Amino acid sequence: MKPQNDLLSATGTTVFTVMSALAVQHGAINLGQGFPDYDGPEDVVRAAAEALLDNRNQYPPLTGLPELRQAVAAANRRFYGLEIDPNAEVVVTSGATEALTACLMAVLNPGDEVVLLEPLYDTYLPVVKLLGAVPKLVRLSPPKWELPRAELAAAFGPKTKAILLNSPMNPASKVFTAAELAFIAELCQRHDTYAICDEVYEHLTFDGWKHIPLMTLPGMRERCLRIGSAGKTFNLTGWKVGYITCDRSLAPNVAKAHQNLTFTTAPNLQRAVAVGLAKDDRYFTELAADLQAKRDRLSAGLAALGFGVLTSQGSYFVTADFTPLGFAGDDVAFCRHITETAKVTAIPVSAFYAGADAPHHFVRFAFCKRMEVLDEALARLTAWKASRDTGSLAAAS
């Protein structure tokens, strides 16, 4: 048989699937893959269920149901002061994953360069490469994950077509500052590039950090393709409803990419997400406050165990350095070890790097879990650590 697609043949199964399967195999608490262990808002779920029963189950319009496009435009106005035409500047997709691919397809030609920031979400690189584009990686470094301005400026050149920016960032849990965004905006304008903005964690920010869409900066309205996800905003990750907001000059190509990927997204879910986006401000404030409390609980517990816990400004995740625990092995070995031994699963942060010399001493924990589950995970890690300490004391005596 002739070889299949080289790039896909060389791409492994996503780390999230691998670690979730390992968690199931070992009966571990899964703090790996980022999904809540509680359901989204009842009124939104009910709206989806009711929408199935009223005979509107055929293909919805290509760019999304009008009520969801209107809700996306209204949310853009309410949260960011962006004026968006729901009929010409919104495309609904099957999750942010499809939205990312559709946006990249919409703007890239083979040979175009795309600036990507490491650590990066796992779908970015394979899709950029499948489209024949050339990734230019710029690395952010822990613990502060500050934007390396000189390196970023050096990554832009005449062939740069786009930057892909993820804020709040997975797994760094960083919210880009206004000054960093202004620096990126200036580069985009100087080099005449687009910005694909993965903003799936837009409403999940903590400690007063406010998400600022790059699209709201002067000169960026026409350049940005802003991606949101109902999965994150309503804690319904299985629904896979995403939405792209972009200028009317970009939306037709995005829609054409979408028509070749999935064409449409389940109509009942679209109708329910429209209900969700219309929820009052309190819902969005409480969503973040609730997650912040979970972040605090897990971060404090991990710190008490000796992990070097990094600040999480937003997202579902906290990153921690396990070096102080004295484990002899890299992050992949550590995650496997705690899954099998402590019965708690995390994600090795090196999985979010493509270049050589990735850090191998950080792991990512998801805290979008019920408090009692976080407590149980911490109890298991505490017992695991105690047995290690006892073991090494016994060995030493």
Q: How far is the CB of 87 from ligand GLN (least distance, A)?
A: 30
Shortest Å, Cβ 273 to ligand GLN: 18
Please tell me whether residue 86 binds ligand PMP under the rule CB under 6 A. no
Picking from 128, 133, 130, 91, the residue whose alpha carbon sits closest to that of residue 257 is 91
Distance CA 170, CA 318 (A): 9
**Residue 16: contacted member of ligand PMP, ligand GLN, none (CB under 5 to 8 Å, by partner type):** ligand GLN
- Measured between alpha carbons, how far is 245 from 160 in angstroms, rounded to an integer? 22
Q: Which does 362 bind (CB under 5 to 8 A by kind): ligand GLN, ligand PMP, none?
A: none
Site string for ligand GLN, 91-110 (x = CB under 6 A): --------------------
CA distance 83 to 390: 62
Long-range contacts of 74-80, Cβ-Cβ distance < 8 Å, separation of 24 or more: 74/277, 74/278, 75/228, 75/277, 76/245, 78/281, 79/202, 79/284, 80/212, 80/213, 80/215, 80/216
Could you say which of ligand GLN, ligand PMP, none residue 189 binds, taking C-beta under 5 to 8 angstroms by partner kind? none
Strand partners, 308: 321
CB 120 → ligand GLN: shortest distance, Å?
A: 11
Q: Does 312 bind ligand PMP (CB under 6 A)?
A: no
Which lies closer to ligand PMP via its Cβ, residue 86 or residue 231? 231
Q: Is 170 in the site for ligand GLN (CB under 6 A)?
A: yes
Q: Which is nearer to ligand PMP, 362 or 384 (CB)?
A: 362
Tokens linked to 127: 């899709």
Query: Applying CB under 6 A, does 20 fall inside the site for ligand PMP?
Result: no
For residue 69, the minimal CB distance to ligand GLN (Å) is: 24
Name the phi and psi angles at 56, rounded to 5. -120, 55
DSSP-assigned letters across all residues of 277-305: HTS-HHHHHHHHHHHHHHHHHHHHHHHHH
Instruction: Compose the 210-249 pattern: x for residues touching ligand PMP by CB under 6 A, - for all others.
Output: -------------------x-x-----x--x-x-------
Decide which of ligand GLN, ligand PMP, none touches 264; Cβ closer than 5 to 8 Å per partner kind: none
Tell me how far apart the alpha carbons of residues 58 and 52 are, in angstroms, rounded to a whole number: 10
- Determine the size of the site formed for ligand GLN (CB under 6 A): 5
Upstream peptide bond of 213 is cis (omega within 30 degrees of 0): no
Task: Give the interface segment with ligand PMP, choosing from 73-81, 95-103, 186-194, 377-385 (CB under 6 A).
Answer: 95-103
Q: Does 14 bind ligand GLN (CB under 6 A)?
A: yes
Q: CB under 5 to 8 A by kind: which of ligand GLN, ligand PMP, none does 279 bind?
A: none
* Minimum distance from residue 157 beta carbon to ligand PMP (Å): 26
Give the DSSP H or E segment for 153. Answer: helix 149-155
Among all residues, whose Cβ is closest to ligand PMP? 95
Give the C-alpha distances (Å, rounded to integers) separating 290 from 79, 92, 191, 295: 19, 28, 41, 9
Cis peptide before 171 (omega within 30 of 0): yes
- The token pair that represents 190 in the structure block: 């100087």
Is 205 a binding residue for ligand PMP by CB under 6 A? The answer is no
Nearer to ligand GLN, 34 or 168 (CB): 34
Count of alpha carbons within 13 Å of 49, Cβ hemisphere only?
A: 6
Name the DSSP class of 311.
Answer: P
Show contacts with ligand PMP in window 21-50 (CB under 6 A). 34
Q: Contacts with ligand GLN in 225-264 (CB under 6 A)?
A: none
Kindly tell me the burial class for residue 110, based on how many C-beta atoms sit within 10 Å of its own C-beta (0-12, 13-18, 19 or more).
Answer: exposed
Instruction: Take residue 40 and report the two structure tokens written for it.
Output: 């989204």
CA–CA distance, 340 with 344 (Å, rounded to integer): 8
- Least CB distance to ligand PMP at residue 318 (A): 14
**By the 8 A CB rule, do 171 and 349 touch?**
yes
The footprint of ligand PMP (CB under 6 A) covers 34, 95-97, 121, 166, 170, 198, 200, 229, 231, 237, 240, 242
Residues that bind ligand GLN (CB under 6 A): 14, 16, 33-34, 170
